[in-house]
Amino acid sequence: MIARRTAGATRFTAARRRISVGVMLRYVLRRMISLGLSLLVASALIFSVVELVPGDPASFMLGTGAQPETVAALRQQMGLDQPLPLRYAAWVGALLQGDLGQSFTYKTPIGGMILERMQVSLPLALMALTLAAAIAFPVGIYAAARRGKAGDAAVMGGTQLGIALPNFWFAMLLVLLFAVKLRWLPAGGFPGWSQPDAALRSLILPAVALALPQAAILARVLRSALIETQGQDYIRTARAKGLTAGQTLRRHALRNALIPVLTIMGMQFSFLLAGAIIIENVFYLPGLGRLIFQAISQRDLIVVQSAVLVLVAAVIAVTFLVDLAYAAVDPRLRNR
Amino acid sequence: MIDLRDLSVTIRGTQVLRDVDLRLHPGSITGLVGESGSGKSMTALAIMGLLPHRAQIGGQVMLDGQNLLTMSEPALCKIRGRRIGMIFQEPMTALNPLMTIGDQVAEVLRIHHGMDRTAALARARERLDRVGLPDPRFPLTLYPHELSGGQRQRVAIALAIAERPDLLIADEPTTALDVTTQAQILDLLAGLVREEGMALLLITHDLAVVAGLADRVAVMKAGEIVEEGPTETLFRTRSHPYTHQLFAASRHAPSRHAPATGSPLLRIRDAVREYRLPGGDRLRAVDGVSLTIGRGESVGLVGESGCGKSTLTRAILGLDPLQGGTIALDGRQVMAGRRMPRDLRARMQVVFQDPFGSFDPRWRVARLVAEPFHLTDRPAGWRDRVGAALSEVGLHPDDADRYIHEFSGGQRQRIAIARALIIRPDLIVLDEAVSALDVRVRAQVLDLLAGLRRSHGLSYLFISHDLSVVRGITDRVLVMQKGRIVEDGAAEQVIDTPSAPYTRRLVAAMPRIPTDWVA
């Protein structure tokens, strides 16, 4: 009887494992399809918005005094005289073959331009986010542990300041102190990764300037998530086991509070990737944000289109990673 | 031995415990009974040293000659989980959802003895085996969500007894569980006390539970122990008037008029309701159910959680579609969603279990009670109708201007009944409607329901896991198991002489006070 039940249980467990592998595969497949669809919708949206923006690239390139015939000839050369659907199809067709097109202004492949800018933007975003998390975790945990006491109030006030301060102003203060006065770090510019040491040093101040408000937001989210988690029944169970308040917080509350924190971090990373434009300008960094900004002002529409699409792809990829992180944190999400 | 002497607790000026004296002996079970808010859980938390920070505490909690109340927090951490273990009411949320059950049990051993993980896990395995979660069916690597409520309560017990404590406090350990699971958990607790010689403080509102288990019983009211003694003596004498009242209320059955013989009102034929599970399998939650409820009839539907009673209820109310069969109310077909006509919907109303979760806290009672009027268009004198409905359920018409948080659990359930009554339905579905109420309040609400049924000719579908309540208020009982009706008969007959094996199991698991004790 017992033996039979055991065999049944083993079969049951094996069956469940098999199902979970099948479910996982189907999940990934479903995500890939939805990722592809999202990109398609995004491409159509980006294309139409860029088309709606006033300003003809050809007349912009030739200046205000150009003859209409010259402009028309350039438009034809650039393919701008073709009907919209055809141009959209041509763009997407090229994208599918990995060709992001050629810049109108610089006549260079856009893929290479974006790649070059990514070498600044990606490390910068990663550094800023790591720094933000490194500040936010101890601060958020401290505030949650001292909920309602002076330490908590001080931290909450500080984070509000951190969110309210304009980061470009903070960036300039950093430059004045660390670059101008102390001369520890460069005030701006980017020497390229051929000199890894100098490259890294030039990213430190911008990363700090970017990280501060993000750290403040993250610390607040972590604090409130921790406080909510600490009201749960299993925290009471942990206390009844004989864990101290501190052990309970570290061993039980923290991991349970991670889900909202991960959500915010995913959003912050996407923002940092392209939203660092003001900081890039303050520090003269050749990042992705500046590339897009310049392309817009030069009516280099094809660059705008392709760069924005790459960003959308990055955001979708980050969201996917965050979902995987949820599953890593929470076993209940693994079989969905 | 644990000895409470003159234990008093005051929180924000309110005295919640007053001079509580209680002795807990090794190898013996003490039942602590009382209504919600009487101070049962506060007593437990005071012993554990886990009262809210603002609490002012007086008296003594003595463990081996040491007063726990004057002990430092680090010293208390060495007592909790090692000398005193505790389990709580809600097994579904009592375990950390992100930690395996093995690690959660092992953690107790690791923090108290600095045991390494492998050794602690080996001991955890032993303890899980002891509480009835044997290897290999229940590997240490399971997570709480992979277990049922009863199994999770076993894990909670395993971690509370991991250190073989001197005292185990069980605060309503089976209130959230089905009767058969409850019987198993109570058996387990009694066995642990016998074999490991620990003292057990069993906190419950259910007199029948302590009757079958406790050596001694203490009755608590408004922060005081009003009566204490050996179980049988206390149950036989009931010398304190409050004990007497609790007894009367727990056995209360409202007077019922003869079963109605009206024409059929609700007719269900071969109803099938299926769910698609993740992974593509189908679960047939309701499997070919047929039943009839006559006009003016009160029908009970009992079964354990997961048997399909809630799913069936949702289909009856027209909230979910059926995959087969039909449901008809007074000859008109019930359909899910928008296809169901409003005037048909208006003829059925529902009262749910949770008196705290089923109202919008920002609405006044008038608006809450008048809500069903969206099905019939609000009549001109709707405010008078609200007042009348409130009077009918024993509240004052002026209560219409108050908010829901100003009412007690029992009053809220009365408001829920007023809300169901206001559009004068033919059928009211009572989904565990009295399960969350204290015995005395429950007795009053049952009387109210019986009276309303008489005066309005209402039909009830009374869904409950509690057979004794069902027996008191319904004419006929249906027993549901795995999506099917396995027994259908007069209430007394089904419960006193059950014929289906499943019903027999349910009835056998039902805790009860021996009849000669209450004679």
| pLDDT of amino acid B263 | 85
Q: Concatenate the DSSP letters of all residues of A248-283 into one string.
A: HIIIIIHHHTHHHHHHHHHHHHHHHHHHTHHHHHHT
The Cα–Cα gap between B512 and B503 comes to 16
Whether residue B108 and residue A242 make contact (CB cut-off 8 A), yes or no, is yes
| pLDDT of amino acid B485 | 94
- Asked if A135 and A247 sit in the same domain, the reply is yes
Condensed to tens digits (0 to 9), the pLDDT of residues A234-262 reads 999 999 999 999 899 989 999 999 988 99
- How would you class B234 by CB atoms within 10 Å of its CB: exposed for 0-12, middle for 13-18, buried for 19 or more? buried
- Asked if A315 and A256 sit in the same domain, the reply is yes
CATH 3.40.50.300 matches B2-250: yes
Q: Tell whether B96 is within 8 A of chain A (Cβ).
A: yes
Condensed to tens digits (0 to 9), the pLDDT of residues B327-382 reads 999 889 998 878 888 889 999 999 988 777 788 999 999 999 999 998 888 888 88
Least confident of A101-115, B160-174, B223-237: A101-115
Q: Concatenate the DSSP letters of all residues of A212-248 into one string.
A: HHHHHHHHHHHHHHHHHHHTSHHHHHHHHHT--HHHH
Whether residue B73 and residue A242 make contact (CB cut-off 8 A), yes or no, is no
What are the start-end ranges of the E strands in B158-260? 167-171, 199-204, 216-221, 224-230
- Asked if A136 and A52 sit in the same domain, the reply is no
**Residue of B98, B147, B164 for testing the chain A interface, max A β-carbons within 10 Å:** B98
Identify the CA nearest to B251 among candidates B468, B68, B76: B468
Condensed to tens digits (0 to 9), the pLDDT of residues A279-302 reads 888 888 998 888 988 888 888 888
Phi-psi region of B318 (alpha: psi -120 to 50; beta: other; left: phi over 0): left
- All CATH 3.40.50.300 domain ranges of chain B, comma separated, are 2-250, 254-347+427-441+457-519
- Average pLDDT of span B268-275: 92
User: Which amino acid is located at B348 in the chain?
Assistant: M
Nearest Cα of chain B lies from the Cα of A331 at a distance, in angstroms, of 6
Which chain A residue lies closest to B153 (C-alpha atoms)? A237
Tokens 């392709």, residue located: A306
| pLDDT of amino acid B258 | 57
The Cα–Cα gap between B381 and B120 comes to 69
Which chain A residue lies closest to B165 (C-alpha atoms)? A241
C-beta of residue B294 within 8 angstroms of C-beta of residue B288: no
- Asked if A141 and A224 sit in the same domain, the reply is yes
Query: Does a cis peptide bond (omega within 30 degrees of 0) precede residue B144?
Result: no
Residue A336 predicted with pLDDT over 80? no
Give Cβ neighbours of residue B487 (< 8 Å, ≥ 6 apart): B477, B478, B479, B494, B498, B499, B500, B502, B503
A71, A96, A121: which is the final residue of a domain? Answer: A96
- Asked if A143 and A47 sit in the same domain, the reply is no
- Token pair listed for A166: 């304009």
Query: Nearest by CB to A331, which of B98, B107, B159?
Result: B98
- Asked if A92 and A178 sit in the same domain, the reply is no
C-beta of residue B433 within 8 angstroms of C-beta of residue B263: no
Residue A28 predicted with pLDDT over 80? no
- Determine the distance from the C-alpha atom of residue B134 to the mean position of all C-alpha atoms in its chain, rounded to a whole number: 28
Condensed to tens digits (0 to 9), the pLDDT of residues B78-105 reads 999 999 999 998 888 999 999 999 999 9
- Beta bridge pairs of residue B57: B9
Q: Is B16 strand, coil or helix? A: strand
Nearest Cα of chain A lies from the Cα of B173 at a distance, in angstroms, of 13
The Cα–Cα gap between B300 and B474 comes to 6
Whether residue B80 and residue A244 make contact (CB cut-off 8 A), yes or no, is no
In a domain? residue A142: yes
- Could you give the number of structural domains in chain A? 2
Phi-psi region of B239 (alpha: psi -120 to 50; beta: other; left: phi over 0): alpha
**Residue of A2, A27, A241, A259 for testing the chain B interface, max B β-carbons within 10 Å:** A241
With cut-offs at 50, 70 and 90, classify the pLDDT of residue A188: confident
- Asked if A42 and A187 sit in the same domain, the reply is no
Element (H, E) at A291: helix A288-297
Least confident of A43-57, B130-144, B390-404, B480-494: A43-57
Domain encompassing residue A36: 2-96
Which residues in chain A are contacts of B48 at CB distance < 8 A? 239-240
Give Cβ neighbours of residue B509 (< 8 Å, ≥ 6 apart): B179, B180, B182, B183
Residue B21 predicted with pLDDT over 80? yes
Query: Nearest by CB to B80, which of A6, A10, A240?
Result: A240
Whether residue B80 and residue A239 make contact (CB cut-off 8 A), yes or no, is yes
Residue A27 predicted with pLDDT over 80? no
In a domain? residue A55: yes
Provide, for chain A, the percentages of residues in helix, strand and coil under a 3-state DSSP scheme, each rounded to the nearest 5.
Answer: 80, 0, 20
Q: Tell whether B73 is within 8 A of chain A (Cβ).
A: yes
- Beta bridge pairs of residue B302: B464, B479
Q: Report the alpha-carbon angle B32-B34-B39, nearest 5.
A: 80
Angstrom CA distances, A209 to A192, A276, A334, B199, stand at: 20, 10, 37, 61
Tokens 């510019």, residue located: A189
Number of H helices, E strands in chain A: 15, 0
- Asked if A92 and A114 sit in the same domain, the reply is no
Q: Report the alpha-carbon angle B230-B435-B492, nearest 5.
A: 80
Whether residue A244 and residue B73 make contact (CB cut-off 8 A), yes or no, is yes
| pLDDT of amino acid B257 | 65
Strand ordering across the sheet containing B29-34: B84-87, B167-171, B199-204, B29-34, B216-221, B224-230
C-beta of residue B351 within 8 angstroms of C-beta of residue B420: yes
Whether residue A9 and residue B137 make contact (CB cut-off 8 A), yes or no, is yes
C-beta of residue B199 within 8 angstroms of C-beta of residue B2: yes
- Asked if A91 and A173 sit in the same domain, the reply is no
Tokens 């094809």, residue located: A302
With cut-offs at 50, 70 and 90, classify the pLDDT of residue B142: very high
With cut-offs at 50, 70 and 90, classify the pLDDT of residue A191: confident
The Cα–Cα gap between B256 and B450 comes to 7
Element (H, E) at B10: strand B2-11
In a domain? residue A104: no
C-beta of residue B1 within 8 angstroms of C-beta of residue B24: yes
- Asked if A55 and A192 sit in the same domain, the reply is no
C-beta of residue A286 within 8 angstroms of C-beta of residue A206: no
**Residue of A23, A237, A252 for testing the chain B interface, max B β-carbons within 10 Å:** A237
- Token pair listed for B198: 């620990």
In a domain? residue A102: no
Rg value, chain B, Cα: 25
In a domain? residue A252: yes
Which chain A residue lies closest to B137 (C-alpha atoms)? A9
| pLDDT of amino acid A1 | 36
CATH 3.40.50.300 matches B254-347+427-441+457-519: yes
Query: How many beta-carbon pairs below 8 A join chains A and B?
Result: 84
A30: phi then psi, degrees, rounded to nearest 5: -60, -40
Q: Concatenate the DSSP letters of all residues of A28-81 into one string.
A: HHHHHHHHHHHHHHHHHHHHHHHHHSS--HHHHHH-TT--HHHHHHHHHHHTTT
Query: Nearest by CB to B95, which of A13, A234, A335?
Result: A234
Condensed to tens digits (0 to 9), the pLDDT of residues B37-65 reads 899 999 999 999 999 888 899 999 999 88
- Asked if A131 and A233 sit in the same domain, the reply is yes
Nearest Cα of chain A lies from the Cα of B305 at a distance, in angstroms, of 21
Which residues in chain A are contacts of B112 at CB distance < 8 A? 242
- Beta bridge pairs of residue B31: B202, B217
- Beta bridge pairs of residue B268: B291, B327
Whether residue A243 and residue B73 make contact (CB cut-off 8 A), yes or no, is no
- Asked if A138 and A241 sit in the same domain, the reply is yes
| pLDDT of amino acid A15 | 44
With cut-offs at 50, 70 and 90, classify the pLDDT of residue B260: low
| pLDDT of amino acid A96 | 87
With cut-offs at 50, 70 and 90, classify the pLDDT of residue A4: very low
| pLDDT of amino acid A3 | 39
Residue A315 predicted with pLDDT over 50? yes
